[in-house]
Amino acid sequence: MLKREGDVLMLEGPVTFETVPALVGAAEEHLSQGARTVDFGRVTEIDSAAVALALEWLRQAARHNVSLRLENLPSSMNNLAELYGVSEFLYPAPR
């Protein structure tokens, strides 16, 4: 489930192969209307689909010329991102 609180999108519950298809397009409208952060702090379960979802949302943000921040990523998601060699996309270097 995705809820918006100001410019923050709060992601809640499991983010898995079963739930990601419904979430893929859920953020795009919010991104075009000013959402700038996705908070994973309330996520209860992830698998590799969560990494793919985060990357897709970053692509969507780029299409809207939005700098999107991902916050409170679960440690298991960090591990998967490192394993797949995409952690630099989830954690860009500070400018």
pLDDT at position 35: 84
What is the value of pTM for the model shown? 0.89
Q: Which domains does the chain have, with CATH numbers?
A: 2-90 (3.30.750.24)
pLDDT in tens, the chain (95 residues): 899 999 999 999 999 999 999 998 888 888 888 889 999 999 999 999 999 999 999 999 998 888 999 999 999 999 999 999 998 888 765 54
pLDDT given at position 94: 53
Amino acid at 14: P
Q: H or E stretch including 71?
A: strand 69-71
